[in-house]
Amino acid sequence: RSGFVAIVGRPNVGKSTLLNRVVGQKVAIMSDKPQTTRNKIQGIYTTNDAQIVFIDTPGIHKPKSELGDYMMKSALSSLNEVDAVIMMVNAEQRRGAGDNFIIDRLKTVKKPVYLVVNKIDQITPDDLLVVIDQYKDALKWQEVLPISALEGNNVEEMLNELVGKL
């Protein structure tokens, strides 16, 4: 089993942190500065019988310039070339305009889209239910997967889920 998975989401939701954890080495540049990982940086997750190439796709957000617009379109077109897409959101924050902008763009994507709710180490199980409720009807999610990229909670389960669908 092998395939490509793109990760999208607002800046600072934890995309690079997940990538770094999954591939076991620093591939994406970690930074608090938005858009540091502007280029597609690929990390490869490998087990005995599976391989997933992850693509960090930070360019999908409301463009503020023509260059930004160009980059967003190029990032968007890459989403139809992968086998699955992860939309990552921050469990600490309510669903906002930035999330909605990305969700709207994902409506044209024909590949399975997973909702990954990250930073669950920061919230209570009750709060998690509230966050999931905010997103559950926003798109036809393949699956909703709560994780902590930083602490590793549920990351193995998430990977198994992705591998199982390849």
Question: Residue 116 CB, nearest distance to ligand GDP (Å)?
Answer: 10
- Residue 149's binding partner, choosing from Mg ion, ligand GDP, none, with beta-carbon cut-off 5 to 8 A by kind? ligand GDP
Strands (E), 24-142: 41-46, 51-56, 84-90, 113-118
Does residue 61 interact with ligand GDP by CB under 6 A?
Answer: no
> Which residues lie across from 8 on neighbouring strands?
87
Q: How far is CA 8 from CA 18, 79, 126, in A?
A: 12, 9, 25
Amino acid at 37: T
**Residue choice 4, 5, 15, 72 for contact with ligand GDP (CB under 6 A):** 15
Does residue 148 interact with ligand GDP by CB under 6 A?
Answer: yes
123: left (phi over 0), alpha (psi -120 to 50) or beta: beta
**Residue choice 53, 112, 121, 166 for contact with ligand GDP (CB under 6 A):** 121
For binding to ligand GDP (CB under 6 A), which residues are involved? 9, 11-17, 30, 37, 118-119, 121-122, 148-150
